[in-house]
Amino acid sequence: MPVFDAFDDDLADLTARAADADAGVRRVAMMELAEEVGPEAKVLLLKGLADPDAEVRAAAARALDEHDGPDVVEGLVSSLEDPEDEVRRAAAEALAAKKEPACGPLLIARAEQHPDPFVQAAALRALRELTLPDALAAALKALRNPEPEVRREGLGVIGGLKAEEAMPALIATAADEDASVRRATMSALVFVRPGGPGASTLVAGLADPHWQVREEAAISAAKIRLPEATVALIAALGDEVWQVRIKAANALGRLKAESAVPTLGELLDSEIANLRKEAAAALGEIASPAAIPALERALDDPDPDVRKLIRWALGRCQAA
């Protein structure tokens, strides 16, 4: 039998099962259609978004992640209004994976005008992947939304656009009452220039009451190598949360901050192996002879991965 005939037979079987009286059979058919290509499979999945069974609709939405086209985006956007949370979430996740600029106007309209915060947030999440300048107005409007989820997604769009004109709004959201919004602000500030507007806001984030905000501030400071964050990052090496200490050590290594060498050396005695590892890596990046004594004392670390990094760091410091 020719290959195309076998393919047609498979599609015919899936078409029959997609219309089966048993919802379980229809759901499996939707899942299998994700592996099929061509307009016929896409049409079946789009029909599945209107199935009377919520699990079938959710399976169709997830499977449409593998298909492209404005009709797919329109179908998924419509499913954001489904009465069942499972379907709405599946549609939102599939939309977030799409990168079709032509669908931007549809998503922008939903982000700006739809009354449901869930739909607004899902549209903004999809827009973040598109990095469309036209989405900036919708993102800025989202920062004034009473729902934290919408404000968070708006910040994601702004961060992706690296929109300098949005800096005053970003600085304002750093004081948001919701910690998850403040954390998203620290992530969005990743395009801050050293010495520029917003730099002091990012540094201040390293002292935020919530540890995840402090962690995100350290991550952004590392990405942009923000020198004015050095003092605050050294202080963060003593943070009560070890995840913050790890990110601060990483940032100081990227900054090649020699003033951090004594404190990083102390972290080589930490009970947390990952923290010792990050401290050794940072000392290696800084490559200061001042780190040699602390590294030599740590050569017998019980963790082989830490010992490997310590030897690497020691070699760089000795060669400096």
pLDDT tops 50 at residue 5: no
pLDDT in tens, 173-218: 999 999 999 999 999 999 999 999 999 999 999 999 999 999 999 9
CA 130 – CA 216 distance, rounded (Å): 23
Each residue of 275-318: pLDDT tens digit? 999 999 999 999 999 999 999 999 999 999 999 999 999 999 99
pLDDT attached to residue 4: 36
- Rounded to the nearest angstrom, the gap between the alpha carbon of residue 190 and the centroid of all alpha carbons in its chain is 13
Q: Residue 135: exposed, middle, or buried by beta-carbon count in 10 A (0-12, 13-18, 19+)?
A: buried
Where do the CATH 1.25.10.10 domains begin and end in the chain? Answer: 1-98, 256-320
Token pair recorded at residue 11: 């599609």
In terms of pTM, does the model score above 0.95?
A: no
82's CB contacts (< 8 A; 6+ apart) are: 54, 57, 88, 91
Q: Under CATH, which number does the domain 1-98 receive? A: 1.25.10.10
Q: Which helix (H) or strand (E) holds 212?
A: helix 211-224
Span 50-76, mean pLDDT?
93
* DSSP 8-state symbol, 193: P
Per-range mean pLDDT, top range of 4-13, 21-30, 32-41: 21-30
Report residue 13 CA to chain centroid gap.
39
Q: In 3D, which of 55, 56, 38 has the Cα closest to residue 47?
A: 56
Q: Which CATH code for domain 256-320?
A: 1.25.10.10
Interatomic CA distance for residues 307 and 153, integer angstroms = 41
Residue appearing with tokens 């700006």: 112
Torsion of CA 88, 91, 92, 93, to 10 degrees: 120
How confident is the model over 224-233, as a mean pLDDT? 97
